[in-house]
Each structure stands twice: as C-alpha cells, then as structure tokens.
Amino acid sequence: MIIDPISIALITLGGVLIGLGVHFIPVGGAPAAMAQATGVGTGTVQLAAGAGLTGLISAGFMYNFLATSGSFTSSDYILVLASGAVGAMIMITVTMFMGQLVYVYCVGVPPVSAKVDKDPITGDQQDIYVSKGTEGHGVPTVSFVSGTIGGLFGGAGGSMVYIQLMQIGNAPADPAIIALAGIFATGVFYVNAVLASYNIGGTIEGFHDPKFKRVPKAVISCLIASLLCAIIAVPIMGGVS
Amino acid sequence: MSAVEGGPASGGLPPNTIIAIGVIGGLAGIYLTMLNQTFNTTIFSVMGAIGSIFAVVWGADAVRRVCSYGLGTGVPSIGMVALGMGVVAAIFGLILPETGILPIPAILGPVISFIVAALIGLVIGSMSNKILKMNIPIMEKSMIEIAGAGCLVMMGLSASIAGSFAFNDAILPGVVSTGYIAIVFIGGAMTILHPFNANLGPDESQYRTLYVAVEKAALTMVIAGFASLTVIDTVSAAVTMLVGLLIFLVYFNKFMKSVHREAYKVVGTGLLPTAEELG
C-alpha cells in the first residue's frame, strides 16, 4: 500500500492541465456544424478526447521506447511529456485545418471571430465579415493558435497522468500495466474534459473569448476531481505490480 | 445539440422503480456469474451482460432526466463521464479486496465499486452545481446514478467477457491485458448516452428511449460475447452472442413499431436521384 504524495500531486496536476487545455480549444458545437459559430463543429468532449487520446498514444509510444531500454530519467520524463503534447497538437491542428478547408471552400464563409473586433494576433478586422445572425464562422488565426495551445496542455496533462501511473506500476513492458494505466488515464481525461466543458457551457472561441475568464472555476473543479481519481488510482497501480 | 426544454422529464415509469431495476438487476447479473465457479463452467458468463442491460436502462433513464434540463454541451459528454467515473471506481473496487490492504472478502468487490462510483458521482455532481454553477436541481442525484450505472455496466460486461469478476485471475488477463477494456469503455458509454441522444426532442417518450437503451445494450452484449471468444470457451461466447442478438431483434422491433405508431407518417424517400434524372 503506497499513498505516494508526489504521484498523487503529479496526477492531479495532469488533470488540471487537461481541464485548462480544453478551454483553449475552439469549440463550435452544433451551431458551428452549420457554420453559424466560430470553431470546429463538434462538442468539447469529442475534440478534447480526440486530441488527448492521440497524445496518449504518442506518449505511450515514447514511454515504451525509453523505459524498456533502461532507466527512466527526468529528461526522459520531459521527452515523453513533449511527445504527448506534440501528438495532441498535431491532431487538433489537423482537425482545425481540415475543418477550415471545408468552411472556406465548401461552405464558402470567411474564418472570422465574433467575439473581438480585431484579431489579437494578426490585427485583422473581424466584425465586418461576420454574417448577420451568426456568431462568426470558421477558425480564425487567433482561434487556431489557441487550439494549438490547448492541444499542448491537454496532451501534456494526459501524458503526465499516464507516465505517473506507469511509474507506479513499474513494469513498462507488461501489457496489463500498460492497459490499466491507459484506461485510467482515459478515465481521468474524460472526467476533466467533461467538467471543463460544463464550465464552458457550449461554445468557446479560444483564449480571447470572454468565457475564458471562467477558467479558475474549472481549475478548482478539476483539481478536486483529479485528486479524488488520483487517490483511488495510485493504490491500484501499486497493488497490481 | 442541446435539447433545451428547461424542465424535468415526465411520464412513464417513476425514477425510483428504474433505480431499483438497475441496481438490483445489475448487481444480480454480476453476482450470478459466480455460478460459473460453483458449477465449474463458463456458461453463466451471459448473466453479467444481462445484468449490464438493466444497468444501461437505469443509466439511460438518468441521462434522460438530467439532459432534459439542457446541459449546453450535448448529451454525449455525460455518457463519457459516466464510464470515465465508472471505470476508475470499478477497477478500484474489484482490486481492493485482492490487494489485502484491508480485510475485505473478495465477494464484496462489486459493491465497493458501486459505492465508490456513487461517491465520485456525488463529488462531480456537487462541483457542477456549486462551483461551475450549472444550476440543475437534480445534478447531484443524477451524477450519482450515472456513475453507478456506468460502473455496473463496466463490471457486467467485463465479467461477461472474462467469466468472473475476480480481478487478478479473470479480468486483468482477460479484459485489461487483451485491450477489450477499451471496447467495454466506449461501448458502455455509447449504450448510456445514445438512447436519449437519438430520441431527444419535444415528442421524446420514456419507453421509446428505453427500448433503444435495451437494444443498444444487447448489441454491446453481442460484441462482448465476440470478445469472450478468445478469453473463455466458444460455447459460452456463442450463448452470450445469441442471447444478445435475440434481445436486440425483439427490442429493435419494438422500437421501430413505436416509431411507426407515433410518427405522423413514415415514407420511403428512395435513393438519391442520378444526374440524368435531375437534368
């Protein structure tokens, strides 16, 4: 029985990073599917989970590569985190880019934000391009950058949960430990992503959206939820090995 | 996406009846797989999946009740969080007696999982209302129900695949190491979130939603049976698949009948017109 405070703290931190990352992702929900809101046309959880699970796979690959070949040092730890983050970033950017192609060339709308008059990054005029009766459309530059940052946080957070569980399991090549850590990381990921999406309540454009100011509430919620999950998960992983 | 009806769901069986059906049916199904050990066979694995159908009915009804208030994020999110909470609680409860940390008999595993799931659900539900200010009056109660149902579905399907709910002997090698746990996770989440998501709208009715719940749970049962082909023997897997298929056909039929009865008119649109027909 090991209640390792450092592992619990790191798993909790991972969960908080996931919750934070979700707020950066431009989620348009059903309105965006009809090009009536800025962002990608699906729900928060689907987008975050898609990116996060890809991050988990890339982190798992890197962890397996590094941990089975010898000792797992702290620089390896950062490498796995980076691998997970990059995996999630690639997934979310590809999703946003392909969505953008559909919005621009198939639906025929200019990517525009309805929440700000000028794009905070490029300084381009936004408000005159918003179609009447809509909340913007497509994925403007600021939302794209924001989404990529979201992938970074989400992927790093998910990987952190996974690495920590694998470290407690202490058997990098055992399929049972890998599957258990993977499914736990997925469970923690979903709990945090859903809590964050309840905080957002539908659609968000990115860090320039007024709704982004709600982040502290999500951080507190994710902290409590992840702490609870971590306290449960740590003895299990310790118990299996 | 958001079915903003802004009020409690009404009609049909009262919530407490469904809760009783879900809890008793779900736990009974999981415990009945113990007949496998008693009679030294694997044929009773099917009971776990049947138990999961009861739990799915409960979960889908709880989703129906909470989502009729309008979550703002779509129904799927709540199904995913159900199994997210459920999987953590299920594995914890099943493994705890076997680690020997606390002197608990292994037979209590599923009950511990269920209680832990309810606890996580309570925490998440109260945070949604108190911190995130979702202001859904039944959020706490529903989250407890959804987490509990998710946990029972998870354990029922796993016990059905592995033939037992003993963690280290059956579920770890049979469901976790093989990766079938991912199917159980997504399949279980789908069965809980899909029924209301498919039926929501002003003319949603409880029995039609629950027909879809039973039908989806039966389909997942077939998949679980298919997975158990490689874990337990062929005959038991075939029994699970056939029973699942039978339940699926019966309830899909019931669902289609209710759709035909309640729709104003059902017409076939035919195939899309070809270029010549349009020109």
Q: Could you write out the DSSP letters of every residue in B57-79?
A: HHHHHHHHHHHTT--SS-THHHH
Domain residue spans in chain A? 5-240
How confident is the model over B108-131, as a mean pLDDT? 90
Say if residues B123 and A221 touch (Cβ distance below 8 Å).
no
The beta-carbon neighbor of B173 closest among A176, A191, A195 is A176
DSSP class of A135: B
Share of chain B above pLDDT 70, in %: 96
Closest residue, chain B, to A204 (C-alpha): B73
Closest residue, chain B, to A225 (C-alpha): B124
Please tell me if residue B193 touches chain A, with a CB cutoff of 8 Å.
no
Does pLDDT of B221 surpass 70? Answer: yes
Instruction: Please judge whether A202 and B72 are an interchain contact, meaning their C-beta atoms are less than 8 angstroms apart.
Output: yes
Instruction: Please judge whether A194 and B80 are an interchain contact, meaning their C-beta atoms are less than 8 angstroms apart.
Output: yes
Closest residue, chain A, to B147 (C-alpha): A191
How far is the alpha carbon of A198 from chain B, nearest alpha carbon, in Å? 7
Residues of B with CB below 8 A from A198's CB? 71-73, 77, 128, 132, 134
The beta-carbon neighbor of A30 closest among B1, B71, B124 is B1
CB pairs A-B closer than 8 Å: 139
Instruction: Please judge whether B123 and A200 are an interchain contact, meaning their C-beta atoms are less than 8 angstroms apart.
Output: no
Strands (E), chain A: 112-113, 136-137
Instruction: Please judge whether A43 and B181 are an interchain contact, meaning their C-beta atoms are less than 8 angstroms apart.
Output: no
Determine the pLDDT at residue B2: 39
The sign of the dihedral angle between the CA atoms of A14, A173, B174, B244 is: positive
For the record, the structure tokens of A181 come out as 């850590």
What is the four-CA torsion angle of A158, A159, A164, A170, rounded to 10 degrees? 130
Does pLDDT of B119 surpass 80? Answer: yes
Residues 6+ apart with CB under 8 A from A31: A37, A41, A134, A135, A203
Determine the pLDDT at residue A240: 63
Say if residues B78 and B66 touch (Cβ distance below 8 Å).
yes
Instruction: Please judge whether A221 and B132 are an interchain contact, meaning their C-beta atoms are less than 8 angstroms apart.
Output: yes
Sort A30 into a burial class: Cβ within 10 Å, 0-12 / 13-18 / 19+: middle
Determine the pLDDT at residue B6: 52
pTM of the model: 0.88
Determine the pLDDT at residue A32: 85
How confident is the model over B204-226, as a mean pLDDT? 90
Does pLDDT of B3 surpass 50? Answer: no
How confident is the model over B197-223, as a mean pLDDT? 89
Strands A136-137 and A112-113: antiparallel
Determine the pLDDT at residue A239: 67
DSSP class of A107: I
Please tell me if residue B101 touches chain A, with a CB cutoff of 8 Å.
yes
Closest residue, chain B, to A41 (C-alpha): B1
What ipTM, to 2 d.p.? Answer: 0.84
Residues of A with CB below 8 A from B181's CB? 179, 183
Residue to mutate among A53, A177, A180, A191, with most B CBs inside 10 A, is A191
Instruction: Please judge whether B120 and A233 are an interchain contact, meaning their C-beta atoms are less than 8 angstroms apart.
Output: no
Does pLDDT of B263 surpass 80? Answer: yes
Instruction: Please judge whether A235 and B101 are an interchain contact, meaning their C-beta atoms are less than 8 angstroms apart.
Output: yes
DSSP codes of every residue in B75-142: THHHHHHHHHHHHHHHHHHHHHHHHTSS---GGGHHHHHHHHHHHHHHHHHHHHHHTS----TTHHHH
Low-confidence ranges of chain A (pLDDT < 50): 1
Please write the tens of the pLDDT for every residue from B9-66.
Answer: 666 788 888 899 899 999 999 999 888 888 888 888 889 999 999 999 999 999 888 8
Please tell me if residue B245 touches chain A, with a CB cutoff of 8 Å.
no
Share of chain B above pLDDT 90, in %: 32
Q: Most confidently modeled of A26-35, B93-102, B130-139, B210-219?
A: B210-219
The beta-carbon neighbor of A225 closest among B1, B116, B124 is B124
Instruction: Please judge whether A195 and B101 are an interchain contact, meaning their C-beta atoms are less than 8 angstroms apart.
Output: no
Closest residue, chain A, to B81 (C-alpha): A191
* B1 confidence band (pLDDT: 50, 70, 90): very low
